[in-house]
Amino acid sequence: MKKMLFGLALLIVTVANAQEIALLKYNGGGDWYGNPTALPNLIKFCNRTLNTRITPKPATVEPASPDLLSYPFVHMTGHGNVVFNDNDIQNLRNYLEGGGFLHIDDNYGMDEYARREIKRLFPNNPLVELPASHPIFQGPNTFASGIPKIHEHDAKRPQAFGIIIDGRLALLYTFETDLGDGWEDPEVHNDPVDVREKALKMGANIIHYAFNQ
Protein backbone atom coordinates (compact mmCIF):
# COMPACT_ATOMS: atom_id res chain seq x y z
CA MET A 1 0.00 0.00 0.00
CA LYS A 2 2.88 2.36 0.90
CA LYS A 3 4.49 1.85 -2.51
CA MET A 4 1.15 2.43 -4.24
CA LEU A 5 0.66 5.71 -2.39
CA PHE A 6 4.23 6.76 -3.14
CA GLY A 7 3.71 5.98 -6.81
CA LEU A 8 0.52 8.03 -6.86
CA ALA A 9 2.34 10.95 -5.22
CA LEU A 10 5.15 10.71 -7.77
CA LEU A 11 2.61 10.68 -10.60
CA ILE A 12 0.90 13.80 -9.26
CA VAL A 13 4.19 15.69 -8.79
CA THR A 14 5.50 14.48 -12.16
CA VAL A 15 2.46 15.86 -13.94
CA ALA A 16 2.96 19.20 -12.20
CA ASN A 17 6.71 19.27 -12.93
CA ALA A 18 6.85 17.11 -16.04
CA GLN A 19 9.41 19.36 -17.71
CA GLU A 20 12.13 19.47 -15.06
CA ILE A 21 15.07 17.09 -14.61
CA ALA A 22 17.87 16.88 -12.06
CA LEU A 23 21.52 15.97 -11.52
CA LEU A 24 22.26 13.74 -8.53
CA LYS A 25 24.71 15.17 -5.98
CA TYR A 26 26.17 12.17 -4.16
CA ASN A 27 28.84 11.67 -1.48
CA GLY A 28 32.05 9.65 -1.62
CA GLY A 29 34.45 12.07 -3.28
CA GLY A 30 33.47 11.41 -6.89
CA ASP A 31 32.95 14.37 -9.20
CA TRP A 32 29.16 14.32 -9.39
CA TYR A 33 29.44 17.75 -11.07
CA GLY A 34 31.44 16.43 -14.06
CA ASN A 35 30.36 17.31 -17.61
CA PRO A 36 28.76 20.64 -16.61
CA THR A 37 27.50 21.45 -20.13
CA ALA A 38 26.10 17.97 -20.80
CA LEU A 39 22.58 18.14 -19.36
CA PRO A 40 21.91 21.73 -20.54
CA ASN A 41 22.84 20.68 -24.08
CA LEU A 42 20.71 17.55 -23.88
CA ILE A 43 17.79 19.66 -22.66
CA LYS A 44 18.18 22.03 -25.62
CA PHE A 45 18.27 19.08 -28.00
CA CYS A 46 15.15 17.48 -26.49
CA ASN A 47 13.24 20.76 -26.48
CA ARG A 48 14.11 21.23 -30.16
CA THR A 49 13.55 17.67 -31.43
CA LEU A 50 10.99 16.18 -29.03
CA ASN A 51 8.93 19.31 -28.39
CA THR A 52 9.56 18.99 -24.67
CA ARG A 53 9.60 22.11 -22.52
CA ILE A 54 12.28 21.15 -20.03
CA THR A 55 13.64 23.94 -17.84
CA PRO A 56 16.98 24.97 -19.45
CA LYS A 57 19.02 24.65 -16.25
CA PRO A 58 18.76 21.23 -14.57
CA ALA A 59 18.19 21.09 -10.84
CA THR A 60 20.63 19.51 -8.38
CA VAL A 61 19.21 17.01 -5.90
CA GLU A 62 20.70 14.88 -3.14
CA PRO A 63 19.76 11.18 -2.79
CA ALA A 64 18.03 11.57 0.60
CA SER A 65 16.19 14.78 -0.29
CA PRO A 66 12.37 14.73 -0.37
CA ASP A 67 12.72 16.88 -3.51
CA LEU A 68 13.86 13.75 -5.37
CA LEU A 69 10.18 12.97 -5.77
CA SER A 70 9.76 16.04 -7.97
CA TYR A 71 11.78 14.77 -10.93
CA PRO A 72 10.71 12.10 -13.43
CA PHE A 73 14.34 11.86 -14.62
CA VAL A 74 17.52 12.06 -12.54
CA HIS A 75 21.02 11.83 -14.03
CA MET A 76 24.19 10.72 -12.26
CA THR A 77 27.76 10.76 -13.56
CA GLY A 78 31.39 11.05 -12.46
CA HIS A 79 34.82 9.44 -12.52
CA GLY A 80 35.30 8.21 -8.96
CA ASN A 81 33.87 6.96 -5.70
CA VAL A 82 30.15 6.92 -4.91
CA VAL A 83 28.79 6.34 -1.40
CA PHE A 84 25.14 6.21 -0.40
CA ASN A 85 24.21 6.20 3.28
CA ASP A 86 21.21 4.30 4.62
CA ASN A 87 18.87 7.28 4.19
CA ASP A 88 20.08 7.73 0.60
CA ILE A 89 19.42 4.08 -0.13
CA GLN A 90 15.92 4.12 1.31
CA ASN A 91 14.88 7.32 -0.44
CA LEU A 92 16.34 6.27 -3.79
CA ARG A 93 14.69 2.86 -3.54
CA ASN A 94 11.33 4.43 -2.73
CA TYR A 95 11.75 6.85 -5.63
CA LEU A 96 12.59 4.14 -8.15
CA GLU A 97 9.97 1.68 -6.93
CA GLY A 98 7.40 4.49 -6.98
CA GLY A 99 7.93 5.35 -10.65
CA GLY A 100 11.11 7.43 -10.78
CA PHE A 101 13.95 6.97 -13.28
CA LEU A 102 17.70 7.17 -12.61
CA HIS A 103 20.31 7.21 -15.37
CA ILE A 104 23.88 6.50 -14.25
CA ASP A 105 26.47 7.25 -16.92
CA ASP A 106 30.01 6.09 -16.15
CA ASN A 107 32.25 9.00 -17.12
CA TYR A 108 35.16 6.54 -16.70
CA GLY A 109 36.36 5.32 -13.33
CA MET A 110 33.12 4.99 -11.36
CA ASP A 111 32.14 1.48 -12.50
CA GLU A 112 33.15 -0.53 -9.42
CA TYR A 113 31.63 2.04 -7.08
CA ALA A 114 28.41 2.47 -9.03
CA ARG A 115 27.88 -1.29 -9.21
CA ARG A 116 28.54 -1.64 -5.48
CA GLU A 117 25.92 0.99 -4.60
CA ILE A 118 23.39 -0.36 -7.12
CA LYS A 119 23.80 -3.75 -5.43
CA ARG A 120 23.03 -2.10 -2.09
CA LEU A 121 19.97 -0.42 -3.59
CA PHE A 122 18.54 -3.66 -4.97
CA PRO A 123 20.34 -6.68 -3.45
CA ASN A 124 17.76 -9.10 -4.85
CA ASN A 125 17.23 -7.42 -8.21
CA PRO A 126 20.42 -7.72 -10.29
CA LEU A 127 21.52 -5.50 -13.14
CA VAL A 128 20.66 -7.06 -16.48
CA GLU A 129 22.10 -6.10 -19.84
CA LEU A 130 19.46 -4.56 -22.05
CA PRO A 131 19.05 -6.13 -25.50
CA ALA A 132 19.04 -3.97 -28.62
CA SER A 133 15.33 -4.77 -28.90
CA HIS A 134 14.52 -2.85 -25.71
CA PRO A 135 12.10 0.07 -26.29
CA ILE A 136 14.68 2.60 -25.11
CA PHE A 137 16.65 1.91 -28.30
CA GLN A 138 13.64 1.98 -30.62
CA GLY A 139 12.40 5.51 -30.44
CA PRO A 140 12.09 8.27 -31.15
CA ASN A 141 15.55 7.48 -32.60
CA THR A 142 16.47 3.95 -33.67
CA PHE A 143 19.65 2.28 -32.42
CA ALA A 144 19.55 -1.13 -34.07
CA SER A 145 22.71 -2.29 -32.27
CA GLY A 146 21.77 -0.95 -28.85
CA ILE A 147 23.77 1.62 -26.89
CA PRO A 148 26.23 3.52 -29.14
CA LYS A 149 29.95 3.97 -28.50
CA ILE A 150 30.80 7.64 -27.97
CA HIS A 151 34.25 7.69 -26.31
CA GLU A 152 36.93 5.02 -26.19
CA HIS A 153 38.44 4.15 -22.83
CA ASP A 154 39.43 0.52 -22.40
CA ALA A 155 38.60 -0.88 -25.83
CA LYS A 156 35.53 -2.58 -24.41
CA ARG A 157 32.14 -2.73 -26.07
CA PRO A 158 29.51 -0.26 -24.90
CA GLN A 159 26.85 -1.75 -22.65
CA ALA A 160 23.55 -0.66 -21.14
CA PHE A 161 22.35 -2.34 -17.97
CA GLY A 162 19.10 -1.92 -16.11
CA ILE A 163 17.17 -2.61 -12.96
CA ILE A 164 13.71 -3.79 -13.95
CA ILE A 165 10.85 -3.24 -11.50
CA ASP A 166 7.48 -4.77 -12.35
CA GLY A 167 8.44 -4.91 -16.01
CA ARG A 168 9.56 -1.26 -16.08
CA LEU A 169 13.13 -0.02 -16.57
CA ALA A 170 13.68 2.10 -13.45
CA LEU A 171 17.48 2.41 -13.39
CA LEU A 172 19.67 2.63 -16.48
CA TYR A 173 23.44 2.19 -16.14
CA THR A 174 25.47 3.01 -19.26
CA PHE A 175 29.06 1.70 -19.37
CA GLU A 176 31.93 2.16 -21.84
CA THR A 177 29.91 4.59 -23.92
CA ASP A 178 30.30 7.90 -22.06
CA LEU A 179 27.17 9.54 -23.41
CA GLY A 180 27.70 12.60 -21.23
CA ASP A 181 30.97 13.46 -22.96
CA GLY A 182 29.08 13.45 -26.25
CA TRP A 183 26.50 15.86 -24.81
CA GLU A 184 29.14 18.42 -23.78
CA ASP A 185 29.94 21.59 -25.73
CA PRO A 186 31.77 20.77 -28.99
CA GLU A 187 35.07 22.35 -27.93
CA VAL A 188 35.31 20.26 -24.74
CA HIS A 189 36.18 16.99 -26.48
CA ASN A 190 36.29 18.06 -30.13
CA ASP A 191 33.94 15.24 -31.11
CA PRO A 192 32.81 15.10 -34.75
CA VAL A 193 29.29 16.38 -35.40
CA ASP A 194 27.95 12.88 -36.12
CA VAL A 195 29.30 11.51 -32.82
CA ARG A 196 27.71 14.33 -30.80
CA GLU A 197 24.43 13.90 -32.66
CA LYS A 198 24.45 10.17 -31.96
CA ALA A 199 25.03 10.80 -28.26
CA LEU A 200 22.28 13.44 -28.10
CA LYS A 201 19.81 11.22 -29.95
CA MET A 202 20.43 8.39 -27.50
CA GLY A 203 20.01 10.86 -24.64
CA ALA A 204 16.73 11.99 -26.16
CA ASN A 205 15.57 8.38 -26.22
CA ILE A 206 16.36 8.07 -22.52
CA ILE A 207 14.46 11.26 -21.67
CA HIS A 208 11.54 10.16 -23.84
CA TYR A 209 11.40 6.79 -22.09
CA ALA A 210 11.59 8.33 -18.63
CA PHE A 211 8.83 10.82 -19.39
CA ASN A 212 6.51 8.33 -21.11
CA GLN A 213 7.07 4.98 -19.41
Domain of 63, CATH number, reads: 3.40.50.12140
Residue type, 60: T
For 28-42, b where at least 16 C-beta lie within 10 A, e where not — what string?
eebebebbeebbbbb
Q: What is the arrangement of strands in the sheet containing 168-175, beginning at the earlier edge strand?
A: 59-61, 22-24, 74-78, 102-106, 168-175, 159-165, 128-129
Q: Give the domain extent around 97.
A: 2-212
Contact indicator for 182, 151 with CB cutoff of 8 Å:
yes
d(CA 177, CA 182): 9
Q: What is the pLDDT along the chain (213 residues), one digit of tens a residue?
A: 445 444 544 444 444 445 899 999 999 998 999 899 999 999 999 999 999 999 999 999 999 999 999 999 999 999 999 999 999 999 999 999 999 999 999 988 899 999 999 999 999 999 999 999 999 999 999 999 999 999 877 788 999 999 999 999 999 999 999 999 999 999 887 889 999 999 999 999 999 999 998
d(CA 134, CA 80): 29
Instruction: Give the pLDDT confidence score for residue 18 in this predicted structure.
Output: 52
What is the domain count for the chain? 1
Instruction: Give the pLDDT confidence score for residue 1 in this predicted structure.
Output: 43
Contact indicator for 104, 114 with CB cutoff of 8 Å:
yes
Cβ neighbours of 85 (radius 10 Å): 12
DSSP for residue 27: B
Contact indicator for 140, 107 with CB cutoff of 8 Å:
no
